[in-house]
Structure 1
Amino acid sequence: MDGRSTKAHGALAMVQLFAGGDQVITKVALNGGINQIVFCTYRNVLALFILIPVAYFYEKNNRPPITRRVLVSFFLLGFTGIFASQLLFLAGIAYTNPTYAAAMQPSVPILTFLLTLVMGIETLELVKLEGKMKVGGIFICVAGATLMLVFRGPAVLASYNMEMYSAETNDIPAAVTAGWLSSLRRFGFDQWHIGVLYLIGHCMCSAIYLALQGQFLREFPANLSVTAFSCSFGSILVVIAGIFSTQNSADWSLTPSELLAVLYAGIVASALNYGLATWSNKILGPALVSMYNPLQPVTSAFLSAIFLKSAIYLGSIIGGILIIAGLYIVTWANYRERQAKETVEAIYDQYTDGATEPLLGRDSTTIT
């Protein structure tokens, strides 16, 4: 891999590490009683105030012109990747439970890959080894993430308070209980089914966001501006939802621990992560970016063991190994495809140069 690709892979690993830390800190804050949508509003607004000046000063001289079509693209990215994705996840987790919500996340890489195939961003030639390795790596990665969620196994690294922060609890503050799909109850859908529909919508929005962002970055390569403007539209929508969904002003007050969680979520998990992920999307493409999502439960499990003294189970270790193996396989397949393409282009350039030079030489001899 070239230098930029290597840095992009490292950046995506950092993104998932920071996201794992966000899960740990957010879990503590939510267990303390903070309103979920208030937490979501604060973190996005804080990220917005960081991203806008950074994008302005770093890209003010090389930012493409912002047309009406570009603004529409920014709105779609903000709506799908920030507003709809986050709120659908909150609603889904309120109607189901955290375990089932996490079990849905491995579908994001598959959905993203299918969308990128349809949009022509990615190619898949199953007759070649690289194409087969791509498909195999994706399923290995998804299988590892699923294994972590459905199989616990014995505790490899046990802890004295391993039950205190059990991921199986259903006692989650439900900030988003508005019945957007409550009319489906008349057709026999219960609360669980409605929650599943919310989670499916969340996964679809996440995949659409990555695919659209990868396509848009080809036309508008200013990745910091893409991140800042998308966050702007998403934050505006989140703020509106927060105002209309909370009726008690006390919900907007924060304790010191909640403020610390908001600062980490806004600065690191939102502003920094959005920026790194968008930059990596520009270099590697949306399919590879989404492949790193299943790493999040791995980093979350290990950080929980360090800071929350939670146990690490055998299923987490085996699942983590499968996820890393799947990522390596897909990365290797993409590298081989890019290497083959560069070889063909080099041969073509050499052939055209070789075909041109003798003709020029022959012409010059004739004139002489």
Structure 2
Amino acid sequence: MGDQTSSASALSDVLNKAKPYLAIISLQFGYAGMYILSTICMKHGMSNFILATYRHVVATIVIAPFAFVLERKIRPKMTLPIFLRIVVLGFLEPVLDQNLYYLGMKFTTATYSSAFVNMLPAVTFIMAMIFRLEKINLKKIHSIAKVVGTAITVGGAMVMTLYKGPIIDFVKSGGATHHSTNTESADQHWVSGTIMLLGSIAGWSSFFILQSFTLKKYPAELSLTAWICFMGTVQDAGLSFIMVRDLSAWKIGFDSRLLAASYSGIVCSGIAYYVQGIVIWQRGPVFVTAFSPLCMIITAALGTVILAEKIHLGSILGAIIIVSGLYTVVWGKSKDVKTPELEEKSNGLQELPITDNGRSMNVVDGAANAVNIPDSKNTYSTRGT
């Protein structure tokens, strides 16, 4: 009987430890589908500004009722400083990141843009160091690995940007020949698209960092998600009316536009913000971004088959370098050892309420990982998009 109890306890521990990994890996499949659907509907003429607006309208409608019901007992009081942070969060991800990303994807390809997202962990890591969410000790090998891995990741992104190379045609298809008269224009768009993708990554990383700090003051993931989606809707709508003067562009029917807006709103905004928030609470913002290469692989496969996209050698080489650097960083983070100070701080996490199917539960763990949020007045730590 005792053996059965210990086995069940061990299995439960394994499942609890695996939950953050399974959650983030599942989101990568969700993001890959969003990249493909968004590319299709924008090729059919939908404005990226309007797509981002509809995306967050859907996300707000879906998430708000759950937030209102499930977190009514644990939702903190809204204050002006928290509200201002939410306004900034609504601008960083729903407005800045997504619109720059959609524009960058329009000027390049879905495969290239999803591969470029592999810079996200490196940029987030640099920002986390600046804001003291990550500790670096150059006397430790694992700390050196995190720094070197970040440098390798940036180098891989530079390879993708500066070296295009020949087309690698995995799926033989017609129309592979490009007219030389279009080459200069295509290259110009490629550079513009890359710059927009860089801006998108900077906005997304900033979102993760600010979200981590905001959750210390407002530890209600669903409610915060609903607020971010709502503020994103308001700001995106204002930007859309400025950028798109033709009111007929807002028309939407039962087509790829509705599918892209609904799918990205529910999966990649509503669910993603919430799940990433919980995982940031447990593992920190760098962990959340560590699985983006999987999304690149899925998107590349779907883009080649569904969209007949051409993959350039530079993209492949850059992606390989980025993945190598990324997992050097991940290895370094896996070797982070809790100091007695971090252990003491992490004890404060055990009483943090998170809703689960309407019930209140506690975050128990160890998993504050190497996240060290410098605020002695608060025992909260954690979460992250």
TM-score after normalising by structure 1: 0.73
1:5–1:284 Cα contact (<8 Å) kept: no
Trace 1:17-32 onto structure 2 (pairs within 5 A). Answer: 17-32=29-44
Match of 1:112 among 118, 121, 124: 124
Post-superposition Cα deviations, 1:2-61, rounded to whole Å, max 9, x if no partner, equal: 655532222222222211211111111111111221111111111111121122222222
- Give the structure 1 partner of residue 373 of structure 2: none
Change (3 A) 1:322 1:11: farther
Q: Structure 1 residue aligned with 2:246, among 248, 267, 281?
A: 248
Structure 2 distance, partners of 1:169, 1:290, is: 34
Judge conservation of contact 1:302–1:312 (CA < 8 Å) in 2: no
Deviations along 1:155-188, whole A, 9 cap, x unmatched?
Answer: 4732335849xxx9978xxxxxxxxxxxxxxxxx
**SS of the counterpart of 2:74?**
coil
* More relative contact order, 1 or 2 (CA 8 Å, 6+ apart): 1
Correspondence for 1:14 among 21, 26, 38: 26
Structure 2 match to 1:159: 172
- Counting only pairs closer than 5 Å after superposition, residues 16-165 of structure 1 correspond to structure 2 as 16-90=28-102, 97=108, 105-143=117-155, 150=163, 155=168, 157-160=170-173, 163=176
CA 1:81–1:310 in structure 2 vs 1: closer, same or farther (change >3 Å)? Answer: closer
Please state if 1:232 is matched with 2:230.
yes
CA 1:250–1:60: 2 relative to 1, 3 Å? same
**Structure 2 residues not aligned, in runs of 5+:** 1-12, 178-182, 348-385
Q: Where do residues 189-338 of structure 1 align in structure 2 (5 Å cutoff)?
A: 199-255=197-253, 256-308=255-307, 310=309, 325-338=324-337
> C-alpha separation between the residues in 1 aligned to 2:268 and 2:103?
20
The residue type equivalent to 1:241 in the other structure is L
Q: CA deviation at 1:135?
A: 2.1
User: Is the 1:18–1:268 Cα contact (8 Å) retained in structure 2?
Assistant: yes
Distance 1:93 1:5, change over 3 A: same
Contact 2:136 2:143 (8 Å CA) reproduced: yes
CA contact (8 A) 1:223 1:275 kept: yes
Residues matched between the structures, number: 325
- Contact in 2 for aligned 1:24/1:303 (Cα 8 Å): yes
Q: Where do 5+ consecutive residues of structure 1 fail to align? A: 172-189, 350-368
Q: Is the 8 A contact 2:103 2:196 kept in 1?
A: yes
Deviation at 1:199? 5.0
Q: Using a 3 Å threshold, how does the CA distance of structure 1 residues 344 and 281 change in structure 2: closer, same or farther? A: closer
Q: 2: CA distance between counterparts of 1:192 and 1:319?
A: 15
Shift of the 134–266 alpha-carbon distance from structure 1 to 2, 3 Å rule, reads: same
